[in-house]
């Protein structure tokens, strides 16, 4: 078992922007990057009545992002993802060495 740091926020805050919620529900987004840990593997979040299980949690630097990573966030390219993040977090610097926590999740089939 991996030792993760203490959570900095709750899983309910992992995906909150309505556009992102829709991307998750439509299967267009299956990962969220945050500057802290919001959920551990095995935890579930509920979006509009549908449940999603956190499958993976790992660190990544912004400089390591690929277009495939951007697609997991619901964007076509790293540049598109970067611009979306900077528009939301206008005071956030985009530093290649900045570490973020990647939360990957999948729908729970019932």
Residue 103 β-bridge partners: 32, 57
Each residue's pLDDT, cut to its tens digit, for the chain (110 residues) gives: 478 999 999 999 999 999 999 999 999 999 999 999 999 999 999 999 999 999 999 999 999 999 999 999 999 999 999 999 999 988 888 999 999 999 999 999 87
CA distances (Å), origin 19, targets 22, 29, 70: 5, 10, 15
Looking at the whole model, is its pTM more than 0.85?
Answer: yes
Domains with residue ranges and CATH for the chain: 11-105 (3.10.400.10)
Phi, psi of 101 (to 5 degrees): -100, 125
Alpha helices in 35-77 (DSSP H): 67-72
Name the maximum alpha-carbon separation found in the chain. 41
């Amino acid at each position: 078992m991996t030792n993760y740091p203490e959570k900095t926020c709750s899983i309910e805050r992992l995906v909150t922007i309505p556009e992102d919620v829709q991307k998750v529900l439509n299967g267009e987004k299956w990962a969220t990057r945050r500057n802290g840990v919001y959920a551990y593997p095995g935890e579930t979040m509920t979006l509009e009545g549908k449940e999603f299980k956190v499958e993976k949690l790992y660190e990544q630097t912004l400089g390591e992002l690929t277009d495939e990573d951007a697609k997991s966030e619901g964007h076509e390219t790293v540049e598109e993802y970067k611009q979306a993040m900077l528009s939301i977090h206008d005071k956030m610097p985009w530093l290649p060495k900045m570490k973020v926590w990647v939360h990957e999740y999948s729908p729970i089939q019932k």
